Chains A and B, each alone.
Chain A
Amino acid sequence: MEYEIVIGLEIHSELATKSKIYCSCTTEFGGIPNTHCCPVCTGMPGVLPVLNKNVVEYAAKAGLAMNCKILDFSKQDRKNYFYPDLPKAYQVSQFDLPLCVKGYIDIDLNDKKKRVGITRIHIEEDAGKLIHDEWETGSLIDYNRCGVPLIEIVTEPDMRSAEDARVFMESVRSILKYTEVSDCKMQEGSLRADVNLSVRIAGEKELGTRTEMKNLNSIRSITRAIESEAKRQIDIIESGGSIEQETRRWDDEKGLSYSMRSKEEAHDYRYFPEPDLAPVIIDANWLDRIKSTLPELPDERKKRYIDQYKIPGYDAKIITASRETADFFEEAVGLSNNAKAVSNWIMGDLMNLMKNSECEEIPFSPSHLANLIKLIENGVISGKIAKTVFKKMFETADEPERIVEREGLKVVNDEGQLNNIVSAVVKSNPKSVEDYRNGKKKAIGFLVGQVMKETKGKADPQMVNKLLKDELES
């Protein structure tokens, strides 16, 4: 039997605002536990929330970038449940009137486009963090994260594979980083997702019973959890069983999920309008101002790079996937005026080095790369040597000129100096010289190689060729 997997995601992303959603405490990650909090974010008696306007702007910006309609009237609601990391015992969120509705993201799947619908995006507050490990007799609570603003992005059940979900998550991350709505540092928990998944026999119209998997903290664990859950559900159906609607917890270490609670045990959150906060009203002027802060998005940029810089579509897609890389590309092109070369360096050596070193930020500036390209263009170093310089530049972030100077990597194109080396090589390789003179013109390649070896690759190859020919044919 062939099955179709149906996936919807609920993505939580921390917003990059400086202060929290309802008080002026910092949102900075880390810090000594319970030092980034105040009576408001720790839910002391009698305190009141005041909505940080930047949160609305950031969330609306995300909504616009994901083609959503921004509601001019939305409201905040209380989601009630008890847990020690939630000091008020309710989370302020949005229930029936979220800030953004009905959007979509077009994702690129091996040159096939797919549209994933966004049901809604709403704003809410994050909870604190329980620390269980280092304490024998109980758990400790760190409220630093309490009240950090989040958006929750809820998708339509439009994805059909782990790959769809992976590409979608990459797109979301790219958009959030482009718009500077979130820094999306997954290991700091600033982007996490819940997966809703069901399976059905291919061709069926009705959706199967779905399960929800909570709190997946990396794109890798999302794809693994999807593969595992799809298999689990198909196995159950194949063996004649049926799927329970339930919430499951993914254990990334074991690569397995466990049942957390059944449908019957589901929380009744008793949502009701938050009486301490006025409705969020976004008038046309405000919305226009937010719109005007939207940057060029990855898709538009990709198209422009193909047009303007004539680089291949594939390269454009990779370069624009992250805003940092795209910005780096453009600046380096501006300085070097050589889009092809910049693109090649990024696609080749840079991507490799970054992948191998698990480095997330480019360690040198665009001007470094532009200068390196100029060194090649001006014949100061050879293309081969440039690769060495690039690696050094990646490791030390030194200026390429300094590296070339320090390591003595300049092209040797002093005719006198090279002539001496050529003469020496000709003398010590009589066999090859004879071959050449007997018409085996290819033998010159070996001799060139010998000269390069003597000069540690720094000799100007054209000059070596010319000098060798002169010497051999004289």
Chain B
Amino acid sequence: MEICSMPVHILSDKIKNRELSSVEITRAVIDRIKKIDPKIQSYITVVEDEALKKSREIQNDIDAGKFLSPIGGIPVAVKDNICTRGIPTTCASKMLSNFIPPYDATVIKKLKEQKAIIAGKLNMDEFAMGGSTENSFFKKTKNPWNTSCVPGGSSGGAAASVAAGLIPFALGSDTGGSIRQPASFCGVVGLKPTYGAVSRYGLVAFASSLDQIGPLTKNVTDCAVVMNAIAGYDKMDSTSANIEYPDYTGFLTNNIKGMKIGVPKEYMTKGINEDVRKALENAAGVLESLGAECEEMSLQYTEYSIPAYYLISSAEASSNLARYDGVKYGYRASRYTDLIDLYRKTRSEGFGEEVKRRIMLGTYALSSGYYDAYYKKALQVRTIIMDDFNRAFDNYDAVIGPTAPTTAYKIGEKIDNPIEMYLGDIFTASVNIAGLPAVSVPCGFDGENMPIGMQIIAKPFDEGTLIKIGYAFEQNTDFANKYPELD
């Protein structure tokens, strides 16, 4: 097996057994980025020299017999909305194209403490708004399975880089499906943790009550390993949960006998792609064959999750993105007549179209006279959707369905139709609204050989169940071991 197609847990073993050095792995990753990424366009920034320097330092530690974590010496790339000290953090926006944070996000601190090597920053939809990574100011990332298709989004660079062997693992962020949908489109594993399980400190906010950082990996084992590295309470994040966090690798048991799994009928009928529906039926069959009990059930408010999600997320975004005003950092219009003109020109020129659309939508939803009809109503719907899920988890250990209603579509196909693009979040957004954990695992391919993802949802802080089901499914199918042809 090539170094670049090895999952994290195998690389880790090889580092421990001295079969591979951190320097060799980092070198191989950097070389492959240089060779393959011009085709995929998944990176905004590659930190070659610094990564190689770090890998030599860490290898010295390894050679000296120092303790190493399961991700020690292994390169990682992160979505470009996660702050990295001294490395540009652009959110794929012209607005922050020159922004270099003087601080690390908490997850970056954790990765560094555990001696992972930051190799670069990954492309995304501008400020994480979008589902195709076409809204990047810098470049359009291609789907490694078919470079005329989108990788999904907004963590499209993260999903594509992991799928294309351009990084052993990546961190993305998920506000309405931005980890899971690209994971599904690119055939990798992507987990959105429970709201509060991973610190948001240093994640450039899109919608504060929905955003979560999570891993994109080649398989479920790696997902558990990376969750161990990043989950946990952080006093810098007031929404972080101060609870005991388990060892997620303890759930890699390959035993799901007796588990009760709900399959919402709303997820299987609402205009979803036929190949996707079949793959999911097949997946449910696999789980049943492993001793789980799959049962059709209902999450009746599913269709309201899209309007609620777009109101809440846009309202929060309109406030979160107000700070980009050209006064303190980031882009500033070169010519302006007064303060108001400075604001207007900076924001008109610095933000892309989708970002401006959401800011306007959110501003409108919060305006006096409209607040009750839109924002407040959306919060009420949020409660109803949470209750809907709570009732489901009284009866089921987990709920499964397709991650997205379609597989990856062609670049440019939906860019002019935002509503159609928004509807792609139908199965993922409700999970953020309810603050639940969910994972997308590869579960098949469509007629065009594009990957299909299965979403597994569990109750708050029950990532263990996601890993348990995902791992058993992966061990008894072959989808995770397929790689796109790129060389």
Residues in A lying within 8 Å of B, measured CB to CB: 39, 42-51, 78, 80, 82, 84, 87-90, 141, 268, 270-272, 275-278
Contact = CB atoms under 8 A, between A and B. Distances in A.
A44 B103 contact: yes
Contacts of B334: none
A40 to B, nearest CB: 9
B367 A89 contact: no
Contact of B204 (A45, A51, A276): A45
Contact of A275 (B83, B105, B316, B322): B316
B204 A46 contact: yes
Given A46-B203, A78-B319, A268-B367, A84 B339 contact: yes
Given A87-B327, A270-B318, A275-B209, 19 more contacts: A39-B101, A43-B323, A44-B102, A45-B83, A45-B89, A45-B205, A45-B329, A47-B103, A48-B236, A48-B238, A49-B238, A50-B235, A50-B237, A80-B318, A82-B322, A84-B325, A88-B322, A89-B322, A270-B371
Contacts of A90: 319, 322
Nearest to A80: B319
In the A-B complex, the 7 residue pairs with the smallest Cβ-Cβ separation, listed nearest first, are A89-B322, A275-B208, A270-B366, A275-B209, A45-B204, A46-B204, A46-B202
Contacts of B319: 78, 80, 89-90, 270, 272
A278 B322 contact: no
B277 interface: no
A49 B328 CA distance: 19
Contacts of B339: 84
Nearest to A45: B204
A88 B203 CA distance: 15
A75 to B, nearest CB: 12
B292 to A, nearest CB: 36
A56 to B, nearest CB: 13
A268 B339 CA distance: 19
A44 B368 contact: no
20 contacts: A39-B103, A42-B328, A43-B323, A44-B101, A45-B96, A45-B204, A46-B202, A47-B201, A48-B237, A48-B239, A49-B238, A82-B325, A84-B325, A84-B327, A90-B319, A141-B327, A268-B368, A270-B319, A270-B367, A270-B368
A356 to B, nearest CB: 46
Contacts of A51: 238
B99 A45 contact: yes
Give the dominant DSSP class at B's interface: loop
B367 A46 contact: no
B105 A46 contact: yes
A44 B96 CA distance: 11
Interface string B100-121: 0111010000000000000000
B128 to A, nearest CB: 12
B343 interface: yes
B87 to A, nearest CB: 13
B333 to A, nearest CB: 14
Nearest to B102: A39
Contacts of B21: none
Interface residues of B, number: 43
B180 interface: no
A279 to B, nearest CB: 10
Nearest to B339: A84
B366 A278 contact: no
B238 A46 contact: no
Query: Counting chain B CB atoms within 10 Å of each CB, which of A49, A51, A271, A275 scores highest?
Result: A275
Contacts of A277: 238-239
Interface string B190-228: 000000000011111101110000000000000000000
Contacts of B427: none
B239 to A, nearest CB: 7
B315 interface: yes
B232 to A, nearest CB: 15
B185 interface: no
B363 interface: yes
B310 interface: no
Contacts of A87: 323, 327-328
B204 A80 contact: no
A45 B81 CA distance: 9
B379 to A, nearest CB: 9
A3 B329 CA distance: 53
Nearest to A83: B339
A87 B368 CA distance: 23
A277 B368 CA distance: 23
Contacts of A46: 81-83, 89, 101, 105, 201-205
A43 B101 CA distance: 12
A418 B208 CA distance: 89
B375 interface: yes
Contact of B200 (A48, A78, A84): A48
A90 B207 CA distance: 15
Contacts of A42: 328
B322 A80 contact: yes
A88 B375 CA distance: 21
Interface in B310-358: 315-316, 318-319, 322-323, 325, 327-329, 339, 343
Contacts of A272: 315-316, 319, 366, 371, 375
Contacts of B82: 46
Contacts of B318: 80, 270
Given A46-B204, A270-B319, A270-B367, A82 B343 contact: yes
A49 B205 CA distance: 12
Query: Counting chain B CB atoms within 10 Å of each CB, which of A51, A78, A272 scores highest?
Result: A272
Nearest to A40: B236
B418 to A, nearest CB: 23
Contact of B208 (A50, A82, A270, A276): A276
A82 B338 CA distance: 14
Given A44-B103, A47-B201, A48-B201, A278 B368 contact: no
A88 B208 contact: no
Query: Counting chain A CB atoms within 10 Å of each CB, which of B82, B103, B207, B327 scores highest?
Result: B327
